[in-house]
A and B are shown apart, each in its own frame.
Chain A
Amino acid sequence: MTLFNKVYKATRIWILLAVALTLPYWVPNNYYLQIFCLGMIFAILTLSLNILSGMTGLFSVGFIAFFGIGAYTSAILTTKLGFPVPLAMFLAGVLSSILSLTLSLPTMRLKGMYFAVATLAFGEIMYQLFLNWTAVTEGTKGIKGIPALELFGTSFRSYSKFYYVILVILILIIMLARNLISSRTGRAMLSIRENDIAAEAVGVNVPQYKMISFLISTFFAGIAGALYAHMVRYVSPESFVNAESAAVLAMMVVGGIGSIPGAIVGGIGLTVLPEFMRFLGNIRMVLYGASIVLIVIFAPRGLGGLIERIDNILSGKQSLGVQKKQQHIEGEE
């Protein structure tokens, strides 16, 4: 290990933190900051999906539904029932988690394709609910005037302030996810993804742990949705169409299934990228699609795998070119 490696290893987390903390001062204007905040919210959502799909191997293609449930719950509780924003945001996670049971209980024994179709149907049902339950959701009109978060007498109305709220929650969820991976619960989930027969054999109650995985991942997704509601301060059904679920899946795949850094980079990257390419006009969506395909081809373990590789090289764990065993949480071959 060279001196550089040592310095890098000792400072990388602080450099990253310094960049994250000062980011609002670097970003050229408020519009880009807003996009970046949105990217971080999608990073949280991608991380949530990763707990279900990356860790437990359950591929949900209707995941945006839980984001929507969180957004609507917090919007309704604050605008119609006068709940304080922090409490409403927490309850958004709780309700999203509870509603996940209506999906996880009946689909417990479904596998692969069948499970995916069930999640797709759930996403569509939720969308129809947002659209048609007008007494509560205001239908296509959407819910306006959602209050901004206020804490300790400070309003987090501006993006440059709300950014820090998102950052704190993102960091918290990263830590929780990391702890989960190296725990009894996390290993039970990983074992289901790897081999459900062997999981049963070591004593894992497979349906029960699938349900737990659902509860945890949808709680975080609900929180992400609530963050979205209080940032944009307006929700309408169009934000939660099934196409959005595909976008979140793409974020997870581009980031690298099961990789935490990957979820962050995938979530932020795929939100920011189309905006940065806006000057290209209509061709940008083609380029957007093409870049996803290129990443999947040239970095089969996603950007997360790439980042871990670079990190290993910089910290001297791996020399250039030689693929050494990585302390990697997952990722398929």
Chain B
Amino acid sequence: MAILETHGIGIHFDGLRAVDNVSFTAEEGQITSIIGPNGAGKTTLFNLIAGFYTPTEGTVDFEGKDITKLKTHERTRLGLARTFQNINLFRELSVMDNVLAGLHSVTKCDPISSMLNLPNKIMEEKESKKKVMETLEFLNLSEYVNEKAGSLSYGLQKNLEIARAIVFRPKVVLLDEPASGLNTNDLHELSQRIVTIRDSGITVVLIEHKMDVVMSISDKIIVLNFGEKIADGTPDEVANDPAVIEAYLGKDE
């Protein structure tokens, strides 16, 4: 079943067609990867799906419902989470608080109970912290729980982004270049983790330049070039597609 779909979605910035008439589907329980050269429009597509940009054309469907008009935080509440390519952490807050903040959409405690420390708050905080610790464990971040997010190394910050996005068990997570800045050892670990995330029931949409990661774990790949979708299919199909080979010609990787 398609859990996330775009229909002819597009946006232009002062004449630049950053994303142009792109239709794609992400099947529930799969890893769908989006690849393409720098500036192809991959991050912009994420921003359209997550509601940071309003499309100039087309629609986004989530679980069969049109969500194009919903605000970002409303989409998150439906179970659509994301990470950022250019890292957007709460830098001055601890790792614990960063991931706790990730639980905002599934927790309920109101301002009054928050301030009065009513039993419902204490219960919720306790459960939340437990969930956070499990997620941190999964991403090997447990030992940094009290560190400030901004003081972590680049690679750890990338992991923290993932922790914050998946802690509330979203239905779909959009990962924007989680492998950038990682060394070869960590790449393997990351691939494993993404597969584990998928196997735990979270649908993954992945933007990634590291081809070994993409080719080894993707169920389906979508290729963008100059804002347009030029191919989609299984890793094998895409790797042998003449249009894709041409788009990547002269490029490393």
Contact = CB atoms under 8 A, between A and B. Distances in A.
Check if A and B associate.
Answer: yes
A205 to B, nearest CB: 5
B137 interface: no
Interface in B157-207: 164-165, 168
B86 to A, nearest CB: 10
B92 A203 contact: no
A210 to B, nearest CB: 13
B15 to A, nearest CB: 25
Contact of B104 (A179, A202, A330): A202
B124 interface: yes
B226 interface: no
B121 A183 contact: yes
Contacts of A185: 109-111, 114-115
B100 A187 contact: yes
Interface in B49-71: 50, 52, 71
B24 interface: no
Interface stretch (B5-13, B76-84, B236-244): B76-84
B115 A183 contact: yes
A201 B115 contact: no
B89 interface: yes
Best-buried of A187, A188, A204, A205 by chain B (most CB within 10 Å): A187
A195 B116 contact: no
B82 A201 contact: yes
Interface string A93-137: 000000000000000000000000000000000000000000000
B91 interface: yes
A182 interface: yes
A188 B165 CA distance: 15
B76 A198 contact: no
A185 B164 CA distance: 17
A201 B148 contact: no
A274 interface: no
A291 B41 CA distance: 53
B164 A190 contact: no
B90 A205 contact: no
A202 B114 contact: no
Interface residues of B, number: 45
B117 A179 contact: yes
B131 interface: no
Contacts of B110: 185
B141 interface: no
A176 B117 CA distance: 8
B147 interface: yes
A14 B207 CA distance: 56
B29 interface: no
Best-buried of B52, B111, B116 by chain A (most CB within 10 Å): B111
Contacts of B139: none
A33 to B, nearest CB: 30
Contacts of A184: 103-104, 107-109, 114, 121, 124, 128
A220 to B, nearest CB: 10
Contact of A190 (B76, B81, B93, B148): B93
B142 interface: no
Nearest to A182: B125
Contact of B90 (A182, A191, A203, A325): A191
Nearest to B118: A179
Given A180-B115, A198-B88, 16 more contacts: A179-B117, A184-B124, A184-B128, A185-B110, A186-B114, A187-B97, A187-B100, A188-B101, A194-B93, A201-B84, A203-B77, A205-B73, A212-B111, A215-B111, A325-B146, A325-B151
25 contacts: A177-B115, A179-B115, A179-B116, A180-B114, A180-B115, A183-B115, A184-B108, A184-B121, A185-B109, A187-B104, A190-B93, A194-B93, A195-B89, A197-B52, A200-B52, A200-B71, A201-B50, A202-B76, A203-B76, A216-B115, A325-B147, A325-B151, A327-B146, A330-B92, A330-B93
